[in-house]
C-alpha cells in the first residue's frame, strides 16, 4: 500500500496535491510520503521481531536507497538503525539522528580513513568483507585503543535479484568472504586486540521477489553457524541483509499488502528457529520504494513516422534506473484521465543528449500535451540517491509530505552551487 491516490481527478500525496508541489517547488521533483515510509517500516520491523528467535531483531535501514534527510529523520524517529556503505553515509546518518550504536558499516571497499572514522564514531558493527580488511580494522582499533565489534560478510554463492547489476551473493560477485575461509579468519581474529567478531552477515542481491533464494542462502548460513560453534567460535549475531523486492507494476486499485514481508518473515522464523542469535536486517527498497514518486512536466511532443516521443523535464540524471537496469516505472498523469480518454503509445524521454535517456518505449498513456504533469511511480528507492548533474543539470529537488503539510527537504541545486565547485588550473586562471 502507498499514499498516492486520486482525489476528484487530481493525484495527491497524502493530503497534498502534486500539482501544488509542482507549482510551488518546480519540476522535476521527488515527492515522498511519510505515512508510507512509516507504514512499511512498522510492518517490516514487527514481522522480523516476531520471526526472530526470542524476538531479537534489529532493523538497519539501508540508506543508500534514499538518503534524503527528511526520510532519514522519519526512520530514525521510528527507532530504526542505519546500514551505511561509506563515511559520507555514516556522517549523514549521525546528522539525521541515528545513534552510533545503531549504525552498521557495510561495503566491499572501505578505506583506512573510513574505518578509522567508523571506529571513532563508536558504531555498532563493521561488516568485514576481506581478510585484509580484518587486519586493517584490528590494527586501527588497536591504535585507537578500541575493540570494534564486527561480523564477517560471507558469500553464500547464491545470487539473486531483479537484474545482473544488482545480484551480489554469487561467488562470481565481488562481495564477501567464502564459506571455506570463515573458520580460519575467525581463528585469526581471536588473537587480535582491535576487533571482536560477533557473527556473520550476508546480502544476496536486490529486488528479489520470492523467498526461495533467501531461504537457500539462510539455510546455508545456519549450518555455518553450527559448524563455527562446533569449532569453538562465538556467533551471537546473524545479519541477513536486505534485498526484499517490491512490485513496480501497480494497477490503480492494487493493494500493496504486506504479503511478501509476511512470507519472508515466516521463512526466517522457520530457518532460524531455536538458534540462539540476534538477527539483523538491512532493508532499503522495501521501506522507501513505493513511498516516492518523481514528478515531471511534459516539455514537448515530437511525432515521428513510427513513434510519438514525449519529452519531459526529468532525465536519466534524475532517475537512472530505466537507463541502467531497464527498470519499469508506472506513469500516472497527475490529472486523472477519463476512462474513455484517447490513448497514445509514447516513448517517454528526457532532454539529455543520449538515446539512452529513455524512460520507456511504446507506453500506452492517455493523450498528453505540453505542460501536463506526470508522475513516475515507485521512485522512492535508488532514484534521487543515484541522481547526478550529468549535462550540467541541477541536482533534483526533494519534498517530504506529512498529512496536509509538505517540506522541501532538499532544495533544487542552484547554478551558483553547480558551477561554484569547479576550480580553474592556475595556468588557465
Ligand atoms: C544495497 C544493500 C542493502 C539494501 O538492499 P535493498 O534491495 O534496497 O533492500 C542491504 N545491505 C547491503 C550490504 C547492501 O549493499
Distance (Å) from CA 60 to ligand 1 centroid:
10
Full pLDDT tens readout for the chain, 429 residues: 899 999 999 999 999 999 999 999 999 999 999 999 999 999 999 999 999 999 999 999 999 999 999 999 999 999 999 999 999 999 999 999 999 999 999 999 999 999 999 999 999 999 999 999 999 999 999 999 999 999 999 999 886 766 777 666 766 677 889 999 999 999 999 999 999 999 999 999 999 999 999 999 999 999 999 999 999 999 999 999 999 999 998 776 666 566 799 999 999 999 999 999 999 999 999 999 999 999 999 999 998 999 999 999 999 999 999 999 999 999 999 999 998 999 999 999 999 988 899 999 999 999 999 999 999 999 999 999 999 999 999 999 999 999 999 999 999 999 999 999 999 999 998
Q: Which atom of ligand 1 is nearest to the CA of 381?
A: 8
- Structure confidence at residue 252 (pLDDT): 66
Most ligand 1 atoms within 8 A of CB, residue of 242, 260, 281 to mutate:
242
Q: Going from the N-terminus, what domains does the chain have, and what CATH number goes with each? A: 4-31+290-420 (2.40.37.10), 34-287 (3.20.20.10)
The SS3 call for residue 265 is: helix
Is residue 241 among the annotated active site residues? Answer: no
- Structure confidence at residue 426 (pLDDT): 97
Most ligand 1 atoms within 8 A of CB, residue of 284, 289, 292 to mutate:
284
In contact, 353 and 368? CB cutoff 8 Å:
no
- Structure confidence at residue 403 (pLDDT): 98
For the chain, the straight-line distance linking the first and the last C-alpha, in angstroms and rounded, comes to 55
Instruction: Give the cell for residue 255.
Output: 493493494
If you average pLDDT over every residue of the chain, what do you get?
Answer: 95
Instruction: Give the cell for residue 353.
Output: 543528449
In this structure, the residues whose C-beta lies within 6 A of any atom of ligand 1 are 62, 64-65, 83, 106, 203, 206, 241-244, 282-286, 381
Rounded to whole angstroms, the Cα distance separating 228 from 145 reads 28
382 labeled part of a ligand binding site: yes
Distance (Å) from CA 282 to ligand 1 centroid:
6
- β-strand pairing of 343-349 with 308-312: parallel
- Structure confidence at residue 406 (pLDDT): 98
Four-CA torsion 313, 315, 317, 320, nearest 10 degrees: 140
For ligand 1, atom 10, which residue shows the shortest CA distance?
242
Reported pTM: 0.96
Distance (Å) from CA 367 to ligand 1 centroid:
38
Q: Which atom of ligand 1 is nearest to the CA of 245?
A: 7
Distance (Å) from CA 244 to ligand 1 centroid:
9
264 labeled part of a ligand binding site: no
Amino acid at each position: 500500500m502507498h499514499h498516492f491516490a486520486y482525489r476528484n481527478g487530481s493525484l495527491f500525496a497524502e493530503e497534498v496535491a502534486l500539482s501544488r508541489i509542482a507549482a510551488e517547488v518546480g519540476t522535476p521533483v521527488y515527492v515522498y510520503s511519510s505515512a508510507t515510509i512509516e507504514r512499511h517500516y512498522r510492518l517490516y520491523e514487527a514481522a522480523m521481531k516476531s520471526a526472530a528467535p526470542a524476538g531479537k531483531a534489529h532493523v538497519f535501514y539501508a540508506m543508500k536507497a534514499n538518503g534524503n534527510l527528511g526520510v532519514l529523520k522519519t526512520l530514525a524517529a521510528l527507532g530504526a538503525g542505519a546500514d551505511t556503505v561509506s563515511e559520507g553515509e555514516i556522517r549523514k546518518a549521525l546528522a539525521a539522528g541515528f545513534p552510533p550504536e545503531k549504525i552498521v558499516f557495510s561495503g566491499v571497499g572501505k578505506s583506512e580513513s573510513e574505518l578509522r572514522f567508523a571506529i571513532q564514531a563508536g558504531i555498532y558493527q563493521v561488516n568485514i568483507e576481506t581478510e585484509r580488511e580484518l587486519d586493517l580494522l584490528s590494527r586501527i582499533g588497536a591504535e585507537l585503543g578500541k575493540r570494534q565489534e564486527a561480523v564477517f560478510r560471507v558469500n553464500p554463492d547464491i545470487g539473486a535479484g531483479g537484474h545482473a547489476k544488482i545480484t551480489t551473493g554469487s561467488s562470481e560477485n565481488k562481495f564477501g568472504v567464502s564459506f571455506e575461509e570463515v573458520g580460519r579468519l575467525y581463528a585469526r581474529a581471536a588473537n587480535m586486540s582491535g576487533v571482536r567478531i560477533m557473527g556473520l552477515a550476508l546480502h544476496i542481491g536486490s529486488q528479489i521477489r520470492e523467498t526461495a533464494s533467501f531461504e537457500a542462502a539462510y539455510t546455508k548460513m545456519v549450518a555455518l553457524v553450527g559448524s563455527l560453534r562446533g569449532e569453538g567460535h562465538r556467533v551471537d549475531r546473524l545479519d541477513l541483509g536486505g534485498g526484499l523486492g517490491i512490485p513496480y507494476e501497480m494497477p490503480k486499485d492494487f493493494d500493496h499488502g504486506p504479503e511478501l514481508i509476511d512470507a519472508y518473515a515466516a521463512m526466517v522464523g522457520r530457518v532460524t528457529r531455536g538458534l540462539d542469535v540476534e538477527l539483523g536486517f538491512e532493508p532499503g527498497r522495501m521501506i522507501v520504494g513505493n513511498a516516492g514518486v518523481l514528478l515531471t512536466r511534459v516539455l514537448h511532443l515530437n511525432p515521428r513516422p513510427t513513434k510519438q516521443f514525449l519529452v519531459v523535464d526529468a532525465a536519466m540524471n534524475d532517475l537512472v534506473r530505466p537507463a541502467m537496469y531497464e527498470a519499469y516505472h508506472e506513469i500516472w498523469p497527475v490529472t486523472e484521465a477519463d476512462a474513455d480518454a484517447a490513448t497514445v503509445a509514447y516513448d517517454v524521454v528526457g532532454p539529455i543528449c543520449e538515446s539512452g535517456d529513455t524512460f520507456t518505449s511504446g507506453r500506452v498513456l492517455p493523450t498528453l500535451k505540453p505542460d501536463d504533469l506526470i508522475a513516475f511511480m515507485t521512485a522512492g528507492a535508488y532514484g534521487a540517491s543515484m541522481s547526478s548533474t550529468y549535462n550540467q543539470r541541477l541536482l533534483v529537488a526533494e519534498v517530504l509530505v506529512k498529512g496536509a503539510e509538505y517540506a522541501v527537504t532538499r532544495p533544487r541545486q542552484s547554478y551558483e552551487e553547480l558551477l561554484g565547485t569547479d576550480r580553474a588550473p592556475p595556468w588557465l586562471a
